[in-house]
Structures are given as structure tokens and as C-alpha cells.
Amino acid sequence: MLSWIPAPLLGVISALLLGVNTIVWCTPLFALSILKFVLPWAVVRRLIDPWLNRIAKSWIACNSAWMLLTHRARWDVQGLEGLKSGGWYMVNCNHQSWVDIFVLQRVFNRHIPFLKFFLKQELIWVPMIGLAWWALDFPFMRRHGKAALRKNPELRHQDMETTRRSCARFALVPTSVMNFAEGTRFTPAKHAQQSSPYRHLLKPKGGALALALNVMGERFRALLDVTIVYPDGVPSYWDMACGRMGRVIVRVQEREVPAAFLQGDYSEDPEYRKEFQAWLGQIWAEKDQLIESLRQP
């Protein structure tokens, strides 16, 4: 354990370990990705994608190792029993910090197939990691403001088509599709701006989740409803790197998706959208109550 090292120095060491780990595993990842790009056939993808996922899982395992080495956070994780690494899962989670991604990767690594997130288009420019996300077929979503959507309603369909294409690729190899239904990280300011009816959550958005279920619903074993709570305060990445991350509580619940939601058009069918949003809202209400109970001393 290196937790005795002064926090700023420990943060630098953690960043170096993350950087070296990323370079080591990205080298074979990029080599295989170039081969997949040059030979863009489904049969080649079926052969190469499992190896790309194995490389990514090894990167996550090494990240978990340096996290264990550099901090003494207490982890309380429940709900992993019975999960399978050889199937497809839809994973939905509340979102508070970039640390959520490290937490989810550590908790689920080798319990379920490799997690693939919906990402903002701008993140493709993150040095090395952005290219790795692209190589691993992470879907990059463009965010359009309300004014732009009013001026050009067709922009609304761009993310839907991106989601559809990504999910079609995910169907070739067992994959866990990760979605933060809130669409952004929770902050008190965003919570107040939304007038959110939940105490600890922003309002959930159902578009990407509904489309993924529509395209791949019959393949998913279940919807994994994940709740992350940081009782000692939400950590930033730098807090985690410096060993200042407190307790981490994770609860995983398998939920059955109603068969009616595996077919339908969320963007064009108002009745389907209303029913889907009501179902998601009920999940969010239960999640909000769970967070309240887990935050208690």
C-alpha cells in the first residue's frame, strides 16, 4: 500500500501508472484495430473483437491493481451473483463523477462482457483514450441544444442512427451496453435547474435506452440497474488518484424489461414514449429511495 505517501505525490504516481498502463495495452489494441479497419467484414470483426475486448479487460484489471495499491477505500458491493460473462447486458446507472466509470469497470470486469458507454462526441479527442474508445466501437453522441433542434428537427435523428449502428455491431459479440440515463453528471445546480422530483438524481432520459432495447432487446439477458453511492462525498478523479476516495457502495439489481418495450419508436410514438418514461421513472423513484437509505450513517 502506498497510502502513506503525501497526497499530491501519490496523485502524480497514480497518473503515471494510469498512463503507462494505457500505453502498454493500447499498443496491441491499435494494431488489431488497424487490421479491422482495413478488413471491414463481419467475419473479421467476429474474430478480432473478442481479442480487443480481452485487451480492454486486461487494461481494467491493471487499473484496479494500481487503485488497490494507492488507496484504502472501503468497497461495499452487492448483486453480482449469477451474472454471466458470455451474454449481453443492458446496464443503467446514476452518474455523479468520472470516478463512476472506474468503479463500474472494476466492479463488473470479468463478471459480464466488457462495458461500452455512450460518450459525448468531444471525448473522441481525449489523447490516446479517445482513439481507444473509437477502436472498441464506443458510440459517440452529438449533443444538440434546443434552439438547434427547433431550427433543424432532423438533428434529433443523428444520435438515434448512431445508437442503431453501434447496437448492430454489438450484436456480433457479447457486449454490455452502458447508459447513464441522466445524460450528465449530477450537481446541485443541475438538480435545481431541472426542478428534479428526485432528491439525489436528475430526471432520466429514455431515448438511448429505449433504442438500444429496441435494436438488441432479445439478446440482453437483463437490464442491470446499478446504483453508486459515495457516503463520504462524491470524489473527483484527482481525489481518487490521491487516495482520498472514501467509501464506495454499489448495488446491482437485475430487472426484467417488459416485452412491450422491445418494439416501438420512442421518438415518434407518443404513447410508447409515455409508457416507457413512466417505467423508467418508477425505477428512478426506487433508486432515489435506495440512495437515501444507503447515505444514512
**What pLDDT is attached to residue 147?**
63
**What pLDDT is attached to residue 44?**
82
Note the pTM of the prediction, 2 decimals: 0.87
Residue 175 forms part of a structural domain: yes
Say whether pLDDT at 91 is over 70: yes
pLDDT one-digit tens code per residue, 10-21: 889 999 999 999
Half-sphere exposure of residue 187, counting CA atoms within 13 Å on the CB side? 8
By DSSP bridging, strand 248-255 and strand 220-229 are antiparallel
pLDDT one-digit tens code per residue, 229-265: 999 999 999 999 998 888 999 999 999 888 888 888 8
Measured distance CA(121)–CA(157) in Å, rounded: 15
Between the alpha carbon of residue 192 and those of residues 64, 116, 200, 203, the distances in Å are 35, 30, 11, 11
Measured distance CA(248)–CA(295) in Å, rounded: 11
- Number of CB atoms found within 10 A of residue 92's CB: 23
- Percent of the chain exceeding pLDDT 90 equals 45
Helix (H) or strand (E) holding 253: strand 248-255
Residue 266 forms part of a structural domain: yes
CATH number for position 89 = 3.40.1130
Residue whose C-alpha is closest to residue 241's, from 82, 64, 8, 39? 8
CB 228 within 8 A of CB 103: yes
- Which residues form the domain of 209? 73-294
Residue 40 forms part of a structural domain: no
Residue 182 forms part of a structural domain: yes
Please state the domain count of the chain.
1
Say whether pLDDT at 102 is over 90: yes
Residue whose C-alpha is closest to residue 144's, from 136, 135, 153, 133? 153
Residue 49 forms part of a structural domain: no
Say whether pLDDT at 139 is over 80: no
Residue 20 forms part of a structural domain: no
Measured distance CA(234)–CA(29) in Å, rounded: 32
pLDDT one-digit tens code per residue, 16-39: 999 999 999 999 999 998 888 888
CB 247 within 8 A of CB 296: no
- Beta bridge partner(s), residue 91: 178, 224
Using CB atoms within 10 A of its CB, is residue 236 exposed (0-12), middle (13-18) or buried (19+)? Answer: middle
Measured distance CA(63)–CA(85) in Å, rounded: 20
120, three cell numbers: 459525448
CB 52 within 8 A of CB 32: yes
283, three cell numbers: 425505477
Residue 290 forms part of a structural domain: yes
Say whether pLDDT at 124 is over 70: yes
Residue 47 forms part of a structural domain: no
Q: Which of 90-94, 155-159, 254-258 has the highest mean pLDDT?
A: 90-94
Helix (H, G, I), strand (E, B) or coil at 116: strand
DSSP collapsed to 3 states, 28-85? HHHHHHHHHHHCCCHHHHHHHHHHHHHHHHHHHHHHHHHHHHHCCCCEEEECCCCCCC
**What pLDDT is attached to residue 145?**
58
Q: Which 8-state DSSP code applies to residue 263?
A: S
CB 245 within 8 A of CB 11: no
pLDDT one-digit tens code per residue, 200-226: 999 999 888 888 888 777 788 789 999
**What pLDDT is attached to residue 281?**
95
Say whether pLDDT at 293 is over 80: yes
